[in-house]
Structure 1
């Protein structure tokens, strides 16, 4: 019996620099992804986050769950800088993760540099 197309959660099992961003998505590792991304030590994941969503600890649970491998979290907040709410900063600090919010383009560039330096960096990138 033939199965139809299987839709799976977006996940790239490795670390890779972001080659391009814009038009609502990203390109990395010879692939493209429409929507936002979490770039974590365990891989790159599709992230159900939009420009309109609040930056809450619940949206960053996957980051908090992988805290052991993360020293710095870069948060790309879209075209404009959005400060991280104190509740989110406190949740990250409790897991000993330093956080920095910036526009998505700056976050992509900074992530790529830190990744090339083999730093314990993660990125939460809202698509623009």
Structure 2
């Protein structure tokens, strides 16, 4: 994750102007515009990875929001621990954990 700003992310050499799912090996456009649209089915990329993700950092935009308890329980059952924060914090957390060699992923909604 090189940078982020209003409406975009720069990941590697590519500029993304959409929500994204980011793993150490894959970055993909994410079909979520707002935190209340997050669901297990639009996180399928993460649950289907050959190497399981140990922590999912969710960047909700300018402010962190609570995800419904049922969704949190489903993600936990799928093996995903969660950290739900604002997008700027999510980008920083992802980079630190990635540098530590953790199996981390980020689900990011632009600012």
Return the TM-score normalized by structure 1: 0.78
What's the offset of the Cα at 1:57? 1.8
Task: Give structure 1 stretches of 5+ with no counterpart.
Answer: 1-17
Choose from 88, 99, 107 the match for 1:105. 88
| Separation in structure 2 between the aligned mates of residue 27 and residue 49 of structure 1, nearest angstrom | 18
Residue 72 in 1 paired to residue 55 in 2?
Answer: yes
List per-residue Cα deviations over 1:80-112 (Å, max 9, x = no partner). Answer: 111121222112111222111000000000000
Return the TM-score normalized by structure 2: 0.89
Runs of 4+ in 1 over 3 A off after TM superposition: none
| Separation in structure 1 between the aligned mates of residue 3 and residue 25 of structure 2, nearest angstrom | 21
What's the offset of the Cα at 1:61? 2.1
Partner SS state of residue 80, structure 1: coil
Choose from 55, 63, 82 the match for 2:38. 55
| Separation in structure 2 between the aligned mates of residue 119 and residue 41 of structure 1, nearest angstrom | 9
How many residue pairs end up in the alignment?
111
Question: Once superposed, what is the RMSD of the aligned Cα atoms?
Answer: 1.7
Task: Give structure 2 stretches of 5+ with no counterpart.
Answer: none
